Amino acid sequence: MRVPRIVVAGVTSGVGKTTVSVAIMDALRKKKGLEVQGFKVGPDFIDPSYHTLVTGRQSRNLDAWMMGRKGVQDCFASACEGADVAVIEGVMGLFDGMSSKNDFASTAHIAKVLDAPVVLVVDAGKGARSIAAIALGFMRFDRKIRIAGVILNNVASERHAGYLAEAFADKIRAPVLGMIKRNSEIRLEERHLGLVPAPELQEARKKTILDAAKSVSDQINIDKIIDLCGSSPLPDATLQAGKADKARIAVALDESFNFYYADNLDALRTHGAELVFFSPVKQPGLPENIQGIVLGGGFPEVLADRLENNRSMIKSVQKAVQEGMPVYGECGGLMYLTRSISGYKGEKKARKMAGLIDADTLMTSRLTLNYTEAECDGPVFGRVHLQGHEFHYSAIENIAGDCRFAYSMKKGRGVTDGKDGFFVNESGLAAYMHLHFANSKLPARMVQACARYSRR
């Protein structure tokens, strides 16, 4: 396959990668009339929601640790079907990955896997000629990375822009593709885990984001970016599914639960699942005629009062799980299945949750952020090797002594003492670890578990 593609990378975190990426995607779609496929390097759930907002196509994640090289290539190929161009937003700084010794799982790594040129975003707010020196260092650090151009963000004035232009003309061969003027009004709304997911934003705020994307794109040379896009051949996707079982699975999707990889939902469908979405915040109970429940990550602590007050939904979930229905929870889903959630913004009152895990959730100021690895032996997935990630500001405490865990951690923190993945009534599983279903055993076994329940 040949799809024109470009990677938007940063010198560090916080230089404006998401703003620039969204602006480029918006301009390619609205100004050039192209079908744009967005991607995000790494495990982040939130940034892709902004890509989806501006492109009208579901953005996907590309993560070498969770997906492997073949998984990254397959995801890219399948997602780009029908697209004219792909824009890949990087993670952290260009060369920042799992280790300081190599670029594994970094933006640079994905650029190599996809043979894609890089646009480097640099915060120029506190320098001029020195900014050119920084860019030059990045270009020479790894000659296998093609830095095709530079976008300078946070430019203070026309005079500042002139200094930058002179410095780059003197030292840098790659073109400056844009100089984005400093504007305090162009700021994406944030929360404790990063940006607020786009689906949670009100329509007025979404319009503000789209207006900001247009404003930034007007300061970027979109025609030049199109010219610089790489389109060398890549392998076609080779996604395969075995004999599919059939199961109807309820997936929580609302303001509290919306951290899902689109690939995971697609993989469940490929393996025979019919997905029906529901809201633990708003609806009175689970959908009818289901054989399984998925509670993804998100922010249950933000609307914990509404989750607590929706007792009919909690009773519906309790009844289904106590009757043996498989349930799978990730992070926010894990928190919902504990006895209570407390501590958000200092609130001391414990909000009662489903209580299917004999433990409590406490919000903390400590960030847990790791790639993870574990051996699993428990319900839903059976015995399998797992590679995922964890990202949260909470801790599970007051854990009953008879609680059982399915995950033995080889990398990462987990819940406690190198363990993660609570057994939930012997047929369910809930963990801090987020998984990507590039490992086809995971969706296949989940659907099989639900299908077995339906035959009881």
450 is annotated as an active-site residue: no
Q: Which amino acid is at 195?
A: L
Q: Which DSSP state fits 81?
A: T
Distance CA 269, CA 455 (A): 19
Cα–Cα distance for residue pair 31/44, rounded to 1 Å: 28
Distance between CA atoms of 295 and 297, rounded to whole angstroms? 7
Beta bridge partners of 138: none
Report the alpha-carbon distance of residue 448 to residue 242 in Å, rounded. 12
Q: Residues 198, 50: contact at Cβ < 8 Å?
A: yes
Q: How far apart are CA 202 and CA 195, in angstroms?
A: 14
Strand partners, 395: 362
What is the β-pairing status of strands 428-431 and 434-435?
A: unpaired
Per-residue tokens: 107: 């933006």
Nearest to 104 by CA among 44, 64, 134: 64
Catalytic residue selected from 75, 331, 376, 450: 331
Q: How far apart are CA 173 and CA 120, in angstroms?
A: 13
- Which residue is it, tokens 């969770």? 66
Phi and psi for 20 in degrees, rounded to 5?
-65, -45
State how far the Cα of 60 lies from the Cα of 434, in Å rounded to an integer. 15
Backbone angles phi, psi at 304, to 5 degrees: -60, -35
Spatial neighbors of 393 by CB under 8 A, at least 6 apart, are: 192, 193, 363, 364, 365, 366, 367, 368
CB 91 within 8 A of CB 44: yes
Q: Which residues are catalytic?
A: 331
